[in-house]
């Protein structure tokens, strides 16, 4: 996302949600407002949009982007883990579409002081919400070797997690992105590799600092419950851990029975609440990837509410 590029999978999101006049829509990861702008334009003249984001920098940009539609949009600095509470507070009916664009945005990566990227030396921060108490530097400098190794291996799928965590403890305190990236590059020389050897570790720290997987698990049931019958939930993920959570939830909630496969009689009484619009995730085309390299790893899954 961000001002430099059209939002990832923009046209596919518009096709998935099919915004209509007088509809109610929620952008749970507002960012700079690109997807939200498309929804508001497509739902003229009376469609309404709720945009939420924990990042005040993103909200400031989105307010500028969406200013022409101020009457039909409500933008709040909140976490999408409170979606049900927010919708109740503003007394909205069941909604017609929800979009989640998971992970960090291009704007966050492109703002050095936020500490998401190692392209420039900056404070090791990585918080989506600058007001939350624990930064990446706090985590790096206080967690045990075993805890760091677990985070780097689990969230970064980094095979050298133990070696990296040992090196971090030897070099602590570490306060900047440059310090950490340099440490990892010395430990794991690039040897012509296109991807920087610190990439997986930075991803892991960002996920841990913002509890990204935990927040996805919290929002999914709230999002489904917020949809009117026929309403759609569209989710863009950027790595396999996110996509796996979304895929498993969609598969689980699109089945009438979740009993073990060999159990002869259903006893679970589970009823499907959604249907998957696509079984395999939608990926960006070559043209979009050429214009925005960060789109390369994007995957879009879509589900539709089938019961009240």
Domains with residue ranges and CATH for the chain: 10-107+212-305 (3.40.50.150), 115-210 (1.10.150.170)
Is 6 assigned a ligand-binding role in the annotation? no
Q: Measure Cα distances from 22 to 10, 49, 226 in Å.
A: 21, 10, 17
Mean pLDDT calculated for residue range 15-26: 97
β-pairing verdict for 274-276 and 299-305: antiparallel
pLDDT for 112 equals 72
Neighbouring C-beta atoms of residue 12, cutoff 10 Å = 20
Is 138 assigned a ligand-binding role in the annotation? no
Is 230 assigned a ligand-binding role in the annotation? no
Question: Is residue 132 predicted with pLDDT exceeding 70?
Answer: yes
Q: What is the DSSP letter of 123?
A: B
Question: Is residue 3 predicted with pLDDT exceeding 60?
Answer: no
Q: What value does the mean pLDDT of the chain take?
A: 93
Question: Is residue 268 predicted with pLDDT exceeding 90?
Answer: no
Q: 3-state DSSP call for residue 255?
A: coil
On the CB side of 140, CA atoms within 13 Å amount to: 27
User: Mind listing the pLDDT tens digit for each residue in 101-114?
Assistant: 998 777 777 777 88
The rounded percent of the chain whose pLDDT value lies above 70 is 98
Q: Which pLDDT band, with edges at 50, 70 and 90, does 185 fall under? A: very high
Angle between helices 199-210 and 145-156 (to 10 degrees): 100
Q: pTM (2 decimals)?
A: 0.91
β-pairing verdict for 48-52 and 73-76: parallel
The tokens for 179 are 């310090």
Q: Which pLDDT band, with edges at 50, 70 and 90, does 51 fall under? A: very high
Is 101 assigned a ligand-binding role in the annotation? yes
Is 108 assigned a ligand-binding role in the annotation? yes
Is 33 assigned a ligand-binding role in the annotation? yes
pLDDT for 5 equals 57
User: Mind listing the pLDDT tens digit for each residue in 206-244?
Assistant: 999 999 999 999 999 999 999 999 999 999 999 999 999
Mean pLDDT calculated for residue range 3-25: 89
pLDDT for 2 equals 36
Q: Which pLDDT band, with edges at 50, 70 and 90, does 152 fall under? A: very high
Gyration radius (Cα) of the chain, Å: 20
User: Mind listing the pLDDT tens digit for each residue in 65-95?
Assistant: 999 999 999 999 999 999 999 999 999 999 9
Is 34 assigned a ligand-binding role in the annotation? yes
**Cα 95 to the center of its chain, rounded Å:** 20
Q: How far apart are CA 121 and CA 160, in angstroms?
A: 23
């Amino acid at each position: 996302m961000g001002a430099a590029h059209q939002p990832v999978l923009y046209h596919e999101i518009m096709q998935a949600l099919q915004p209509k006049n007088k509809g109610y829509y929620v952008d749970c990861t507002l960012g700079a407002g690109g997807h939200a702008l498309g929804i508001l334009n497509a739902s003229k003249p009376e469609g309404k949009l709720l945009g939420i984001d924990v990042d005040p920098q993103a909200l400031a940009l989105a307010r500028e982007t969406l200013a022409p539609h101020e009457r039909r949009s409500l933008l709040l600095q909140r976490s999408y883990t409170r979606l049900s509470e927010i919708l109740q507070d503003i007394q909205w009916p069941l909604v017609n579409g929800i979009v989640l664009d998971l992970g960090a945005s291009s704007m966050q990566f492109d703002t050095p002081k936020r500490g998401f990227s190692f392209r420039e030396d900056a404070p090791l921060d990585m918080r989506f919400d600058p007001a939350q108490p624990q930064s990446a530097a706090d985590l790096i400098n206080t967690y045990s070797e075993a805890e760091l190794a677990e985070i780097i291996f689990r969230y970064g799928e980094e095979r050298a997690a133990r070696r990296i965590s040992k090196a971090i403890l030897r070099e602590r305190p570490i306060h900047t992105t440059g310090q950490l990236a340099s440490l990892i590059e010395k430990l794991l020389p690039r040897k012509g590799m296109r991807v920087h050897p610190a990439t997986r570790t930075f991803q892991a720290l960002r996920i841990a600092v913002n509890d990204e997987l935990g927040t996805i698990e919290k929002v999914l049931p709230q999002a489904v419950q917020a949809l009117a019958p026929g309403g759609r939930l569209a989710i863009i993920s950027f790595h396999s851990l996110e996509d796996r959570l979304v895929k498993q939830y969609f598969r689980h909630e699109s089945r009438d029975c979740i009993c073990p496969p060999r159990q002869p009689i259903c006893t679970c009484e589970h009823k499907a609440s959604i249907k998957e619009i696509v079984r395999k995730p939608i990926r960006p085309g070559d043209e979009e990837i050429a214009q925005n390299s960060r789109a390369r790893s994007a995957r879009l899954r879509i589900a539709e509410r089938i019961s009240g």
